[in-house]
Structure 1
Amino acid sequence: PVHYAGIACDMDKLMALANKHNLFVVEDAAQAIDSFYKNKPLGSIGHMAAFSFHETKNIVSGEGGMLVINDDRFIKRAEIIREKGTNRSAFFRGEVDKYGWVDIGSSFLPSDIIAAFLYAQIENIDSIQNKRKKSWDIYSKGLTALEKAGKIQLPYLPSYATNNAHMFYVVCKNSDERASLITYLKTNGVHAVFHYLSLHKSPYYIDKHDGRKLFYSDMYSDCLVRLPFFYELTDKEVEYITQLINKFYS
């Protein structure tokens, strides 16, 4: 399951389905740091979870991420893969008398500088999140009238989820309208972008897809616009963007 925009999927239903069919659940929590499902941190519910610290995320290290393991069966192998396919960590713990290559692996270790840079943000995550949530609220307040008028769709927050203010987006009525909005914003000095293409239409997967229509996947792929969202964004800049969007639809 993908916790898109940091908003939780309905994990109770997904875990029940996985248990019924004996499946493993890997949470895509790339955008979900400091977000919760029924008071449970996202990434703590499935068997494993992956977080991202890419430069576009709430806390960043440039590149890299974090693997969370909630099932003891996977800890040993994950450690070996992280250690370039060796049992080096077990050697340092005195569990083996020498170490060597025992599995596939690669170099996933961050440098001390990157770790320190990231750790400082973790220590200050509350202030970072408060700043981001304020920007999110200004966007929401400034654009709610357009949603009520049926001109755009804003992010939806289910009752079981929390908002970690990872991003703010609007959903236009069609791809032409989206293209016009992006061009209009760019003309006025605002860089807004569309997001992912539908996986079933990607070069990798298109010949594997069975041809079913995936309405919502295509709709969001064709109509969603991500608005500027980063820690240094000022309240006045957010207000300016909301004013531009309101003017576009007036």
Structure 2
Amino acid sequence: MMNAVEKPSMTDSNVETLAPNAPEFARAPRHIPFNRPYMTGRELHYISQAHAGGHLAGDGPFTDRCHAWLEASTSAPKALLTHSCTAALEMAGLLLDIKPGDEVILPSFTFVSTANAFVLRGAVPVFVDVREDTLNIDETLVEQAITPRTKAIVPVHYAGVGCEMDALMTIAGRFGLKVVEDAAQAVMARYNGKLLGSIGHLGAYSFHETKNVICGEGGALIVNDPAYALNAEIVREKGTDRSQFFRGEVDKYTWRLPGSSFLPSELTAAFLWAQLEAATTLTSRRLERWARYHDLLEGLEQRGLLRRPIVPEYCEHNAHMYYVLLAPGIDRQLVLARLKASGVNAVFHYVPLHSSPCGQRVGRTYGELRVTEDASSRLIRLPLWIGLDDSMQDYVVSSLEDALTKG
């Protein structure tokens, strides 16, 4: 089990009553889901337009709009929608021509897709520890983990907070390596003024329903190195030059490279377009909720019960999530159980990949992963979504305080 996210409740009710004989702390006057997908109001209209236009398969007018928005935002020469961030990462593995025995450096504290994309090509994931402040890959350990087999570095921008990209790009340049940004959680976030996903040779976004900008399932590959732009189109279209054919650049299309069907449908793109139009507003509203949590939880941090997230000055995060690290010695499972009984669906996050059955079989670690193991055992993510109001946040924080302090 990789995380503890339950299916989000789609009900508008905030009241959930437990059985009369439940323990006192388990009488839940409210139900606050971990996530509630948000719609701007234009999604269904755009979907109906796509249907009326007779183009439901991928790469229609709404896909074109999404591509143009992403390219303009990131200044990338090419941006391509995919059916998931997983697909975008798998495209990266194909574009980098990863072969069996190649090594790819990445954090263990990440979702399985970060590693799977390269393991599917026969690569060995080399897991390094994360920083104590941001829980991002520790850039000071990367160079020591490089071997003659290393082909790429894959930083993961945890919680929409940027990794130390200047240092990572310098290391990559010195050793002739490629950098693939796993920016699944980082749409609209910045590092030193640059959008995350736009700095490495390739970047990958997620538009999953739990992210800030959504379309149910979806993603995008950001091609920052123009050398990969044409092949990215080919790989995405089952390995054919079909896109060039439709633009009139070739008189027939044929199989050019190993590839697959990585396109989302036009219905997905239509939904996403409504979200991208409102991306700045969506980010702003989430940041308001994030900042309020941060203020409300200052007292619990001062009492030594938890640690709040740390965002370096050079990062502009996107409020993808609000997490806390419980103080050492606090029973996280008990805290989560008490929160659940109070109607608050808080969850833990990753089980470190290096400790998983597959990770132990196909990967290796560089050094001790002390911070990874410690943080993964103490981290709790709190509900955060547009529509979470002040009273709900007050209830989440008071429930957390009760869960931490009850005897």
- Coarse TM-score class (shorter-chain normalised): over 0.9
Shift of 1:48: 0.5
Alpha carbons 2:335, 2:404 under 8 Å: kept = no
Aligned residue for 1:62, secondary structure, equals coil
1:21 matched to 2:175? The reply is yes
Query: Of 190, 206, 217, which aligns to 2:372?
Result: 217
Query: Of 166, 169, 173, which aligns to 1:12?
Result: 166
Q: Distance in 2 between matches of 1:134 and 1:16?
A: 35
Shift of 1:246: 2.1
Q: Distance in 2 between matches of 1:148 and 1:176?
A: 16
Counterpart position of 2:398:
243
Counterpart position of 2:298:
144
Counterpart position of 1:172:
326
Q: Map 1:81-230 to 2 at 5 A.
A: 81-174=235-328, 177-207=331-361, 208-210=363-365, 212-230=367-385
Structure 1: stretches of 5+ with no match in the other structure: none
Shift of 1:176: 5.5
Alpha carbons 1:31, 1:52 under 8 Å: kept = yes
Number of equivalent positions: 250
Q: Which amino acid aligns with 2:301?
A: E
Q: Distance in 1 between matches of 2:356 and 2:364?
A: 10
Alpha carbons 1:27, 1:50 under 8 Å: kept = yes
Q: Distance in 2 between matches of 1:191 and 1:105?
A: 40
Q: Distance in 1 between matches of 2:329 and 2:226?
A: 46
Shift of 1:79: 0.3
Q: Distance in 2 between matches of 1:247 and 1:186?
A: 12
Q: Distance in 2 between matches of 1:175 and 1:229?
A: 26
Counterpart position of 1:233:
388
Give the structure-1-normalised TM-score: 0.95
1:51 matched to 2:205? The reply is yes
Aligned residue for 2:306, secondary structure, equals coil
Q: Distance in 1 between matches of 2:199 and 2:239?
A: 27
Q: Distance in 1 between matches of 2:176 and 2:365?
A: 24
Counterpart position of 1:65:
219
Q: Distance in 2 between matches of 1:103 and 1:179?
A: 48
Q: Relative to 1, partners in 2 of residues 1:36 and 1:178: Cα closer, same or farther, differing over 3 Å?
A: same
Alpha carbons 2:308, 2:323 under 8 Å: kept = yes
Shift of 1:11: 0.7
Aligned residue for 1:26, secondary structure, equals strand
Cα distance per residue 1:56-79 (max 9 Å; x no partner): 000111111000011011111110
Larger relative contact order (C-alpha < 8 A, sep ≥ 6)?
Answer: 2
Moved more, 87-96 or 62-71: 87-96
Q: Distance in 2 between matches of 1:211 and 1:83?
A: 37
Structure 2: stretches of 5+ with no match in the other structure: 1-154
Moved more, 2-11 or 143-152: 143-152
Alpha carbons 2:218, 2:268 under 8 Å: kept = no
Cα distance per residue 1:83-121 (max 9 Å; x no partner): 111111111222222111111222222222211111111
Q: Relative to 1, partners in 2 of residues 1:118 and 1:152: Cα closer, same or farther, differing over 3 Å?
A: same
**Matched residues, percent identical?**
47
Shift of 1:138: 1.6
Shift of 1:210: 4.9
Q: Which amino acid aligns with 1:161?
A: C
Q: Distance in 2 between matches of 1:38 and 1:223?
A: 29
Aligned residue for 1:183, secondary structure, equals helix
Shift of 1:214: 0.5
